[in-house]
Amino acid sequence: MNRTEIIKLKEANCKNCYRCIRHCPVKSIAFRNEQAEIISKSCILCGQCLLECPQNAKYINSERDTIQTCIARGEKLYVSLAPSFTAAFPGISVAQMSQALKQLGFAHVEETAIGAERVTREYESLIEDGSMPNIIATACPSTVLLIERHFPDLIPFLAPVVSPMVAHARMMREIYGPRIKIVFIGPCIAKKHETIDPGNGSAVFAAMTFEQLADWFAEVQIDLSTCPEDESQRMIHNTLPRFYPVPGGIIRNLNQTTRRKYTCSVVDGVDRCQEILETLREGQLHHHFLELNACAGSCLGGPALKSFKRGFLPSRQTIVDHVLQKPVHAAPLTEGTKVRLDRTFHDLSDHSAQPDESQIREILIAMGKSSQEHELNCGTCGYPSCRDKAVAVAQGKANIHMCLPYFRERAESMSNLVIENTPNAILVLDENYRIREFNPAASRILKLQLAESVGQPVITVLPGDCLELFNEDKHGTFNKVAYPDINLVVEQNLIPVADRSMFILILKDITREERAREKSTKVRSETVDIAQSVILKQMRVAQEIASLLGETTAETKVALNQLKRSILYEMGDELDG
């Protein structure tokens, strides 16, 4: 399994709607071979494409098979459980969750909040030091990817501190040994990238989402509501870090005196984060501590929490209740453990050559955008402007035909071209069979004048058998009809559209063919009559000849008999003599 391929695509499900492209905040989705394709090198794993796809064409790669293989081999797998689990599994305690996870084969369970507490202390140290002109918290991996891949010039503002997940993993490995394997379970897709990010030192073996865990529980029929509590489970004593999944949760954990040294601000949602980063890029912010969360609602809006449909306020209340729980057991051994939590960041932006102005202009013209007035910037293709779309085409991320206005204009132009030039008469009728429009062929064949014919009942131009049109049994099929009053024979088809509020009448003029066929039929009939007459005459001649031959033969016989007798008589006389 390729662990770098975090968001995967069910190719058969992609329906070319471009919705994922429209909602991707960093446009890291290409459209190739009629399929959406995640561009891994620019994706920030915010999960918006997953949430917005109406066909469920995208899904999160699962490492469950790898985890189960390790468990089957007898390896010890430890769980770092995100505090937002209470939003996914409300009413379930840490001890119950620990017991359920141990039934799956995990060896030990702790809360990621243990690592969050240590990360908070690192942030406080940076604030106290005051040397950084601005500090961006690095707890959200999507935000870190956003800066590394799209705002690399702002990397110096990133707090050089690992996330709570990595911090907790390092603390567990310090206490329980470096050979243990740690699995993070939470609401975030980007955590999967953190497990393979070299900057984190491979502290975490694998990451699962709450959705994937819920599916696992369901398959092995573990009911959390009836699951007993793990009696050996220890409870953290500093519960305030459980606020980390809530917007402002990091700042809430900072010492009140310390945080006054910087202006502390909370921003959630990728679009708003990008606005703040642009402001930072322009040098408009100084001495700010920024808690940036890619998901609207922070971790409670994580893509792997949306399917639980708890709602933000109920989810937030579960966090508050979790924070207020008083510990009744001893603290975990890892709580308060000091380890190195520093990390570095790298410029991961795309440095490939950008298209020049002539290339962009050439593509815009090919898209039918020959002037600025034609650049509608409607966004239906997924890009904010026609120019952005042209750049994407040049980069091989999009194709020209993704432009809906262009495609529609081209289709309408082609349709109009066909209708205008078809030899068949086409009339558009309203629900009462009155003429609304007709093409040039209809005007020629039926001798229609625009001003006089529009609004008139169709029976005024097609008298007689036109009433057959109203027979629903004949709708949608071609029927041959003759209109002798106007010397016309046609194959006609009445097609109802728009819930029978409109009809399209198509008439194929076959008058010439019918006249030719009738003439051919008449010629064949006359030929048959002539042939029959000749045959009769021939028969009469044959009979007359036969009659004449019969008379002549009889006369000849009589003459020959007389000649024979005469000769015999003469011969008899000679013998007698």
Q: How does pLDDT run across 482-538, given as a tens digit for each residue?
A: 888 888 888 888 888 867 778 888 888 988 888 888 888 888 878 877 878 878 888
Containing 460, the helix (H) or strand (E) segment is none
Angle formed at CA 89 by CA 88 and CA 93, multiple of 5 degrees? 135
pLDDT of residue 1: 41
Q: Sign of dihedral through CA atoms 170, 176, 177, 183?
A: negative
Let me know: does 298 contact 268? Beta carbons within 8 Å.
yes
C-alpha separations of 203 from 66, 127, 241 in Å: 17, 26, 21
pLDDT in tens, 144-193: 999 999 999 999 999 999 999 999 999 999 999 999 999 999 999 999 99
The stretch 250-270 carries a mean pLDDT of: 96
pLDDT tens, position by position, 77-102: 999 999 999 999 999 999 999 999 99
Q: pLDDT at position 500, please? A: 77
Strand 425-430 and strand 288-293: the pairing is: unpaired
Find the helix packing angle between 164-176 and 113-129, rounded to 10°: 110
From 397, 355, 403, 399, select the one nearest 43 (Cα to Cα).
Answer: 397
- What is the residue-wise DSSP string for 305-341? TGGG---HHHHHHHHHHHHHPPP-SPPPTTTT-----
Contact yes or no for 430/411 (Cβ under 8 A):
no
Residue 225 has pLDDT above 60, yes or no: yes
Q: State the Cα–Cα distance between residues 348 and 42, nearest whole angstrom.
A: 8
Inter-helix orientation angle 210-219/94-104, to 10°:
60
